[in-house]
Amino acid sequence: MGETKQVHTICGYCGTGCGLILEIEDNKIKKIRGDKDAPVNKGQTCVKGAFAFNYVHAEERLRSPLIRKADKLVETTWDEALQYVANKLGKIKAEFGPNAISMFACARTTNESNFITQKFMRTAIGSNNIDGCNRT
Ligand code: SF4
């Protein structure tokens, strides 16, 4: 058996925010259980929180951004990808106006990320077209 440790964290699958304890071996998640000291779930979890973690170490998981070039998705750097998106959004805004752009925030992310999302849309883009995937 390799190096083992426990990591206390918060489940990111939904807004309930259950406390979890990750059993780590050789830098890989081996098991997840509920944190009995977490006030939200008191040691309980649903099936997603306890068992749906294989994606973390999946080989096919994307590890860098992709840009479609000549009908092919090509790996690129974050700098190039972000510049590409900024250019596209700027062109759409200039040609069609800010209300031609909308953004979906994620129900699985933090309040802080959702706050930044709406701030970006309202101040940088100039649009109130914001919604969340938790309504779908
Ligand atoms: S364990 Fe289940 S209920 Fe708890 S935060 Fe994760 S997804 Fe939500």
% of the chain at pLDDT higher than 90: 79
Strand partners, 132: 105
Nearest protein Cα to ligand 1, atom 7: 13
Number of structural domains (the chain) is 2
Q: Give yes or no: residues 106 and 78 share one domain.
A: yes
Domain boundary among 29, 57, 85: 57
- The residue assigned the tokens 């977490």 is 38
Atom of ligand 1 nearest to the CA of 16: 5
pLDDT value at residue 71: 94
Residues 27 and 71 placed together within one structural domain of the fold: no
pLDDT at 134: 67
Q: Which of 9-18, 25-34, 38-47, 57-66 has the least mean pLDDT?
A: 9-18
Q: Answer yes or no: do 76 and 29 share one domain.
A: no
pTM over 0.75: no
The protein residue with its alpha carbon nearest to ligand 1, atom 8, reads 14
Q: What is the mean pLDDT of residues 107-112?
A: 78
Residue 37: which domain range? 4-57
Indicate the helix (H) or strand (E) that contains 82: helix 78-96
- Greater model confidence, 125 or 133: 125
pLDDT value at 72 more than 70: yes
Among 57, 80, 101, where does a domain finish?
57
Report how far residue 116's alpha carbon sits from residue 135's, in angstroms, rounded to the nearest whole number.
19
- Predicted confidence (pLDDT) at residue 118 exceeds the cutoff of 70: yes
Q: How far is the CA of 54 from the centre of ligand 1 (A)?
A: 16
Helix/strand/coil for 53: coil
94: part of which helix (H) or strand (E)?
helix 78-96
Q: Dump pLDDT digits (tens) for 47-62.
A: 999 999 998 999 999 9
Helix (H, G, I), strand (E, B) or coil at 26: coil
| Position 42 pLDDT exceeds 60 | yes
